[in-house]
Structures are given as structure tokens and as C-alpha cells.
Structure 1
Amino acid sequence: MSRKILVVATSDIHLQVFHLPYLKMLKDKGYEVNVAVEVRGNGKVPFADHLFNLPFKRTLFSFRLLEAYRRLEKIINEGDYALVHCHTPIPSAMTRLAAGKARKKGTVVLYTAHGFHFYKGAPLSYWLTYYLAEKYLSGKTDAIITINKEDYDLASKKFYANRTHYIKGIGVDTSKFRKIEPVSKENFKREMGYEPNSFILLYAANFIDRKNHQFVLRALGGLKDLIPEIKILFAGSGIRMQKMIDFTTEHGLHAYVDFLGFRKDMDRLLAIADVSISSSKQEGLGLALAEAMVCGVPVIASEDRGHKELIVHNETGFLFEQENEQAFIDSVFKLYQDRDLSKKFVKNGVQKIRQFSIENSLASMDKIYDMYLTEK
């Protein structure tokens, strides 16, 4: 039996951020691990024996994708892979189309859905495009791996893959984070240039439309009157960042907002955060909130399938209805006023998030890999 595995994803950065523990696990089990990505970072993926650099462009309207497809098909057909595991929408679609010949020869194709683009409440156009595409492609997939229950229920009932699995996210590495006590939090705030009594909301997310940063800025107009010492920190980069900076300036909010850009020191930012927030329109899970819960930071998030995996309303945090600014403002103000409520959320959140540890996720994926590799 072949001992070769191919992992396909959008970019080297994606693998570096989310998948290194899984690549290491496969290497430790004695497999040769190759990866196919577009190099958008340093081009180095630890634990990968070989990296194929393919032009996985962000848009379907690029002729470079045809080149990527042809090269990917050649890699799969000539690679003698026991298993191909694909992530992220465009590369995963291309992989499943390209792997048809290899599947007939015994190659297993797994697809991890990190949050389908169709979901309860999504626009009809999403269901007419993304849903129909995923349903068709599921027939070219041996197994779909989902990271939230809504996606699992839909895929297991409506799609054509031979099997569907549910794991509790891709895993939070709790060793990177630690809970910060209130006295230490004040000291950390001083060290990082903030007033000790400032009330800091942290939103860690790239600036794309789905993350809905403007919602937070609109709500800030009401929050600053209730909480004069409020400060919102946006950690992330992206195509909409300048637009949000301009919005902040135009509405006289610049004194209350810091745009931090992409950060590698999330542990330090979480150490000064009083609340971690998300106004995302949809999430597969919500890794930034999970990391906040590990650090003992209370969380407030918009209602969606991923956030509901992590947050039990009024037990491990607050959930607010999509686009409901007043509900968001009320939730923030309650935590500002009631520190005992914050402590309750923290205590319950730390217990809840243990289910989503990297150790549990690795164990789940280990069983899934063994299921398909030992069947061959």
C-alpha cells in the first residue's frame, strides 16, 4: 500500500496557521506528506516532504486556475497517493474534479468543510450556487469532514459522499495561551500603552465583508456614550481595512479605535482584552473566540452556526441577533457593569472550550485517517 498523502489548500499560510499539527501527526505515523498550495507567504511548510506551488487564485474568473487544475490533475494521477485531503473551497472543488481517475484506482479523497458558504439565513443566491456545487462535488468525495453540527446535519442528509464526519473544530492549542488575572491585566494594559481602566473590546478577524466590522463601528456610536473609556482593537488585515479606517475618521470615532493590522502576538492582545467580540455574518466555528475563552476572556458574538457551537447564551457568553446593534450594545454594557457575570462566563467558557482542544481534534482526525488508510 502507498504511504503517500497529498494535502491541498489555498495557500502555504493557511497550512502554517491551521494544519501543522496534523501534518506532524501524519509524518510521525510514517507517511510521506506532500502539499499543493499557492505560495503567498515564505513557501515553507514544516513536516511537508514536498510542496507544489499552484496558482490557486481567489477568484473563479482567472485563466490561471485552468493551469492549476491541469497541474493538480497530473500531480494526483502520477503521485500514487493513498489519500488526498483537501481544504478551502476553490482548491477543494478542483481537487475532487481532478481526482476522478485516481479514485478509480483506489485513492481516497477527503474534504474538510471549514464552514459551508450556504447556511440557515443565507441569501438564496448562495443556495443556488454554493449548495448545488457542493452537492454535485460530494458525489466525487469519499468523506466530508465538518466542524459544526449544522453543516454535519445537512451534509449527512443531503449530500452524496460515502461518509460524513463531525469533529469539534480544527483545534485550539491551549499551550499558546493562559488565563490572565485582573491585576496582571491592568499592568499589561499599561505596558501596551493603554489606560489601566480602559474597557477593551478585541475583534480578531481579517477585513473582509463577511466579518462585518462596520457593524461594530456603527454600534460604537452608542457605546462610547455609555462607556467613555471604551477602546476597540481590530487585529487583522485585508481589503476592507482602509474603508473601515475612513469610516472611523468620518464619524469621529478614531479616539476609540485602534487598527492593529495582522498580529502574531494574540496572546498579548488577549491579555489586555476585557471582552472578545465577533459580528461575523457566518462562521464555520470561530477560532478567535475559542482562543479568547481559553484565556479567560468573556465573549460576545453574533448568532450563527459556528458561534453557537462555542457559546451557550447567558452561560458561556452572549449571542446577539444578526445586525441587532442595540442587542450588541446591551450585551457589552452588561459585562461592563457586572464583573460577576463576566466571571461566570469565564468559568463556564474555560470548561466548555476544553472540548475543542487541539488534542481532541487530533485524536478525532487520527481515527478518521486510520479508518480510510487501513481499509485500503
Structure 2
Amino acid sequence: MADGQKKILYIASSFGHLAAFHQPYMKWFAEQGCAVHAAAGGDRRDLQGVVQYISLPFEKSMYSQRNLAAAWRLRQLVQRERYDLISLHTSLAAFFARLALLPPCRNRPTVMNTSHGYLFDRDSARLKRMLLLGAERLTAPVTDWLLVMNQQDREIANRYRLGKNIVFTRGMGVDLARFQPATREMRQMARDSMRVQPDELVLVYAAEFSERKNQKMLIRAMQDLPDSVILLLPGEGALLEPCKMLAKELGVSGRVRFPGFVRNVEDYYAAADLCVSASRIEGLPFNVMEAMACGLPVVLSDIKGHQDLVSGGQNGILYPYDDIPAFVKAVERLLDEQTRQLMAVAAYRAAQPYGLETVYPTLTGIYQTALHGHA
């Protein structure tokens, strides 16, 4: 390492997360002359700007002993490498990484935690909220910078002083060059490739199959929607097969499509008429912002993160979480093509402030300030 060169450590639960959301910023650090290291679980991914990779045995369960082992390895790594800045991502990895820095010492690196969404909110069960909020309060003394992405998380962070410098951001930035409204020809090609008929209304929900994402509710709702409504569910995860079985049991498997993991998710937005979500909790959902940037109106569960993206029923509709009749009513309202077209224009406009070109200079400015120890 060159004399005086700054060293940056990125930490997340998986290398896949870093690859999906943070490569422009890791590259930026490298362009500033920093040595960038990445520590995460899962399969290694090549990352722009990264010169060293560290594999960590993270598991999704907060109570796994493997996570404590990962924290111990991180503590040794930080003591050995003497990083200037640690950039934390994903709730589990961020907690155990900060736990590894307790008790705080005088010469520790600057720690920036980017909260992609606390896994609790004002509606969470009391015990769950107490445990997860308690974890954040425990690690607040070593959280020099806290970046939050929605208003409810901002309120929580400020109320409980979960970081020394709390900054509200617009996420990590959506690639608006990739996600934009499809031309008529692109839309027709996408619908033809997915065997969608001209008179069918297509809903899309691109997400990991999990309890939190709640695809089962959407599948159940398909029983009450017209036969002309099609549901696209790109993604993979632990509940993919149970969701397929549920669709078959309910007799809607012909109208619910499971394409699995896809790299061309923009083609699914091109084929769709509406973006939907049944999620229980979010930070600032990329899938929704991408769909809005493609000009799709949205029908979303009324939760934090979603509330930040939908305003006054102009670009979409919020419905009470897990309320099938309310969801069905919202979709039926948007069967009207003129209503969809008006909301599509509003959705496209609402997505523009979340574009990478807008967010990138803001975040790199924050990183520059933190890197040089200013508040």
C-alpha cells in the first residue's frame, strides 16, 4: 500500500448485494486513490475498484454462532489492516460488524452504516421492535455516520440517536439509462416473448420469495381478479416452491408466472401494466423505483418505504398490508386504461430524483466528508 493511502472496507451479508448496489461507489473510492477491500458472505463476485476480498460466514439468523465467528474475524481484520473508513450494508452484517468494534477504542476507523431499511417499524410486534431497536442502540456508539432512506427510519434514528451524524438520502440510485419507459415495439416484443395476450392486464412483482415479501397474498388475490389479469413473479428464494404449489392448489397457476432469477428484469417491466408489492417492510425498494422509472403505476402495501414513493394517489395506490379485498379493489380501479396512463406519467416523474445521476454526487460528497473526518 502506498504511504498515506486511505483504506476502505465494505461489509455486507453477501457479495451479491455489493455487486447489485455499490459498485459505482467502490469504484469512486478507488479513483480517489483508496485501497478498497470487500468482506461478505456467499459466492464471491468481481467488484469494480476492489483489490482484496474477505469471505465471512454470515447466516441470516441473528442467533447463529457463525455470525459471532464472523464478528471475531472482522475484529482481527480491522486491528490488522487499520482501515480509515468502514462502509456497512445490510442489517445483519452491519450489526455484527459494529458489535466487533465494541467496546469502542480510540484509534478505531470511522464507521458509516447505510441502513437499507430497519427490519422493524411502528407496527411491528413489541418484542421484535424492542430486540431490533435494542441492537441498534447497543451499536450506536460506534456508528459515526448513519444514512437512512425513508422518513420513518429517519424519525426512529433521530429519536433514539442511533448515529452521531444522521443523513437522509434517496437510496443508492437507479440506473435511469437502463430503466425507462419501453417503446411500443419493445413492449410488444416483451409481451410476445412472455405469451401475453393483447387484452390481458399484467402485474409484476420482482422480489426474493420470502415471508417478508409476501407473494402468497398476491397469489391468493388472483382468485378474486378477472381472468384477464396475469401475475409475473420473477425471483428466487426459500418460498418459491411453496408459492408454486399454492398457485396450483388455488387453480391460478395458468395466470401466475414464475420465471425464476432473471437478469433482464427491465423486459418484465416492459411487458407489464402495473407494478405491485405485498411486502411487510421495506427501506426504499429498488424494484418499485425501477418499475416507476419504466412508467409503471404501482399498487403497494401501505408501509414505510412505499409511503415515501407514492404521493396522494397520483402515481399509484397504497392498500393496507395483507388486505386482499383492498388490493383487488385497487387493481380493479386501474383496469381503466386512461387512469393507468395518467398514473404512468406521474410514476415516471416521481422516479427521476432517485436516479443514479442525481444520487451519486450526493453520496460521494458524503463519503468525501466522512473520509476526511468532518461532520
- One-letter amino acid matched to 1:253: V
- One-letter amino acid matched to 2:117: G
Q: 1:10 aligns with which of 9, 13, 25?
A: 13
- One-letter amino acid matched to 1:255: G
Q: Where does structure 1 lack aligned partners over 5 or more consecutive residues?
A: none
Q: How does 1:101-120 map to 2 (within 5 A)?
A: 104-120=106-122
Q: How far apart in 1 are the matches of 2:68 and 2:108?
A: 25
Q: Percent identity at matched positions?
A: 27
**How many corresponding residue pairs?**
371
Q: Which residue is 1:368 aligned to?
A: 366
- One-letter amino acid matched to 1:49: V
Rate the CA distance shift 1:154–1:211 in 2: closer, same or farther, 3 A.
same
- One-letter amino acid matched to 1:240: L
RMSD, matched Cα? 1.7
Q: How far apart in 2 are the matches of 1:285 and 1:124?
A: 23
Q: How does 1:19-168 map to 2 (within 5 A)?
A: 19-38=22-41, 40-100=42-102, 104-168=106-170
Q: How far apart in 2 are the matches of 1:287 and 1:117?
A: 16
Q: Which residue is 1:292 aligned to?
A: 291
The TM-score normalised by the length of structure 1 is: 0.94
- Tell me if the contact between 1:103 and 1:109 (Cα under 8 Å) persists in the aligned partners: no
Give how far 1:333 is off: 1.1
The TM-score normalised by the length of structure 2 is: 0.94
Q: Which residue is 1:357 aligned to?
A: 355
Q: Which residue is 1:235 aligned to?
A: 234
Q: How far apart in 2 are the matches of 1:69 and 1:314?
A: 45
Q: Which residue is 2:256 aligned to?
A: 257
Give how far 1:165 is off: 0.7
Give how far 1:209 is off: 0.2
Give how far 1:184 is off: 4.4
Give how far 1:47 is off: 1.7
- Tell me if the contact between 1:190 and 1:196 (Cα under 8 Å) persists in the aligned partners: no
- Tell me if the contact between 2:190 and 2:268 (Cα under 8 Å) persists in the aligned partners: no
- Tell me if the contact between 1:72 and 1:95 (Cα under 8 Å) persists in the aligned partners: yes
Q: How far apart in 2 are the matches of 1:291 and 1:210?
A: 20
Give how far 1:186 is off: 3.1
Rate the CA distance shift 1:286–1:66 in 2: closer, same or farther, 3 A.
closer
Q: Secondary structure at the match of 1:208?
A: coil
Q: Which residue is 2:272 aligned to?
A: 273
Higher share in helix: 1
Q: Secondary structure at the match of 1:329?
A: helix
Q: Where does structure 2 lack aligned partners over 5 or more consecutive residues?
A: none
- Tell me if the contact between 1:277 and 1:299 (Cα under 8 Å) persists in the aligned partners: yes
Q: Which residue is 1:316 aligned to?
A: 315
Q: How far apart in 2 are the matches of 1:165 and 1:124?
A: 27
1:172 aligns with 2:174: yes
- One-letter amino acid matched to 1:35: A
Q: Secondary structure at the match of 1:104?
A: coil
- One-letter amino acid matched to 1:363: P
- Tell me if the contact between 1:82 and 1:373 (Cα under 8 Å) persists in the aligned partners: yes
Give how far 1:151 is off: 0.5
Cα deviation code 1:331-366 (max 9, x no counterpart): 111111x21211111111111111111122222211
Cα deviation code 1:199-244 (max 9, x no counterpart): 1111111111001111111111110xxx222111101111111111
- Tell me if the contact between 2:136 and 2:162 (Cα under 8 Å) persists in the aligned partners: no
Q: How far apart in 2 are the matches of 1:160 and 1:309?
A: 21
